[in-house]
Amino acid sequence: MKFELWYLVIGALLVAVALLTSFVKRLPLTETMIYLVVGATLGPLGAGWYSFDALSSAKLLERLAEIAVIVSLFTAGLKLRMPLNDPQWLIPVRLAFVSMTITVGLVTFVGVAWLGLPPGAAVLLGAVLAPTDPVLASGVQLEKVRDRNRLRFSLTGEAGLNDGTAFPFVMLGLGLLGLHELGAGGWRWWTIDLVWALGGGLAIGAVLGTIVARIVLWLRRERKEGVGRDAFLALGLIALAYGAALLAQTYGFLAVFAAGVALRAVERQHSGDDVPDEVLAMETAGRAEEIATDPEKAPAHMAGAVLAFNEQIERILEVALVLVIGAALAPAYLRIEEVWFIALLFLVIRPLAVHVGLLGAAGIGGVERGLISWFGIRGIGSLYYLSFAINHGLPGELALRLTALTLTTIAVSIVLHGITVTPLMNLYQKRRGGTRAR
């Protein structure tokens, strides 16, 4: 496919989505589904004008997915305005640690017993498919700064955390395949890959997010400086937290998420519960500096402007990567004999992991547990981990098998969850006596 035609296709797609956004939201349909269909139509499953080989292009795919995930994780962190000592945080933490570990274990069992994979590859498959996605799950995430909905908070927090908590299992799978050093008796994995990398990543992100936020607010409120570069602030803090975490051999995904949560926590400390509307960040240029330096409004302006910029970047990256996923789907990947595995993952493994992980959790009802179980959306995070494993020497035959399972699972997730998100979330909102969910 000629490069010039890509301009035409992408341009037409973006204009169509921009014009039809309100119409699409009223249907059992998502923008992500449209991107996937367009990519598949252009790729081997359709006209065959273009194809994207996930194996030979794994290095490029890893970098693209990496950027998309860290931007989305920072965005997810900014959306979580709940005080860190609020008991509601226990739900996403249990989902991200307990439920995700159970998911990896169950997928590993299925991979060895029924898919015929070696243990290392089965663990790796579990780690790739266990995390829920912060990029494609916008329909079930928090939408407004004052939103305290338990379901949306839980899904947003889980997606923000488990893209990092999956990393130890990726390293374990690679280690069992002889592609990563685990240490005698697994000591290196336990101390470095698990304890240090998890705790260190969260600490680095939290410290940097807090320091940067406080410096920015001090400059704006006390010195009337540092105004007008909120896009630089967002990208700078993301890069700073991610780079520092990687240099310290910790997990950058957790650091970026923690930086977003910390920035929001600083804003909340200054604004209090009765925060000014985030629309302040979208005020006219004539008042932007006045609002950004106002002692009362500056914190909300800072957080709101950074969040708005990040959400736009997130959507652009989503378009590119979902088009790639669609174009990467090939007939050879659609193995009918393994469709049962995807059904098992969505209908048995995910619900079982969620229910066990939330045993005894107070304040969350059966309907919410059911929706959390269903909306375990797989997407760009899984794509990143797959590419990461391939680039770390995953053998050719295993790489092909895991690529087929992963891409097919992501595509099915985009379609199934895309079809159900609007009706299910609207029904849930109606039961709660609220307005439409989207």
Inside any domain, residue 391: yes
Between 24 and 94, where is the model more confident?
94
- CA 202 – CA 204 distance, rounded (Å): 6
Cβ count near 97 (within 10 Å): 16
Inside any domain, residue 30: no
Backbone angles phi, psi at 358, to 5 degrees: -105, 15
Backbone angles phi, psi at 368, to 5 degrees: -65, -40
For tokens 């252009």, the residue is 42
For tokens 């193995």, the residue is 335
Average pLDDT over residues 348-359: 96
- CA 325 – CA 394 distance, rounded (Å): 20
Instruction: Work out the burial of residue 196: count CB atoms within 10 Å of its CB; fewer than 13 is exposed, 13-18 middle, 19 or more buried.
Output: middle
Average pLDDT over residues 297-306: 76
Between 304 and 88, where is the model more confident?
88
Cα–Cα distances (Å) from 247 to 26, 149, 161, 203, 204, in that order, read 45, 37, 20, 14, 11
pLDDT recorded at residue 398: 95
Q: Are 293 and 368 in contact (CB under 8 A)?
A: no
For 105-144, the pLDDT digits (tens) are 999 999 999 999 999 999 999 999 999 987 776 678 887 6
pLDDT recorded at residue 165: 95
pLDDT recorded at residue 1: 65
Q: How confident is the model at residue 147 (pLDDT cuts 50, 70, 90)?
A: confident
Inside any domain, residue 212: yes
Whether the pLDDT of residue 433 is over 90: the answer is no
Inside any domain, residue 306: yes
pLDDT recorded at residue 347: 96
Cα–Cα distances (Å) from 141 to 22, 91, 131, 212, 247, in that order, read 18, 14, 15, 26, 31
Between 254 and 274, where is the model more confident?
254
pLDDT recorded at residue 229: 74
Whether the pLDDT of residue 334 is over 80: the answer is no
Whether the pLDDT of residue 284 is over 70: the answer is no
Whether the pLDDT of residue 342 is over 60: the answer is yes
Cβ count near 96 (within 10 Å): 26
- The three-point CA angle 132-155-172 to 5° equals 35
pLDDT recorded at residue 202: 97
Inside any domain, residue 428: no
Helix (H, G, I), strand (E, B) or coil at 308: helix
Inside any domain, residue 195: yes
pLDDT recorded at residue 280: 46
* The pair of three-digit structure tokens given for residue 254, joined into one six-digit string: 């957790």
What is the overall mean pLDDT for the chain? Answer: 87
For 172-208, the pLDDT digits (tens) are 999 999 999 999 999 999 999 999 999 999 999 999 9
- CA 265 – CA 303 distance, rounded (Å): 10
Lowest model confidence (mean pLDDT) among 77-86, 252-261, 383-392, 423-432: 423-432
Q: Are 85 and 138 in contact (CB under 8 A)?
A: no
For tokens 């699409």, the residue is 24
Give the whole-number percent of the chain exceeding pLDDT 70. 90
pLDDT recorded at residue 129: 96
Q: How confident is the model at residue 270 (pLDDT cuts 50, 70, 90)?
A: confident
- CA 395 – CA 177 distance, rounded (Å): 9
Domain of residue 175 covers: 54-138+149-327+342-395
One-letter amino acid for residue 1 of the chain: M
- CA 380 – CA 361 distance, rounded (Å): 29
Whether the pLDDT of residue 158 is over 60: the answer is yes
Whether the pLDDT of residue 281 is over 50: the answer is no
For tokens 């669609």, the residue is 326
Query: Residue 180 belongs to a domain with what CATH number?
Result: 1.20.1530
Whether the pLDDT of residue 352 is over 50: the answer is yes
Inside any domain, residue 132: yes
Between 192 and 283, where is the model more confident?
192
Between 222 and 366, where is the model more confident?
366
Lowest model confidence (mean pLDDT) among 24-38, 177-191, 211-225, 294-308: 294-308
The total of structural domains in the chain comes to 1
pLDDT recorded at residue 435: 46
Lowest model confidence (mean pLDDT) among 14-28, 41-55, 244-258: 14-28
Where helices occur in 80-133 by DSSP H, the ranges are 90-94, 100-113, 119-129
pLDDT recorded at residue 436: 47
pLDDT recorded at residue 263: 93
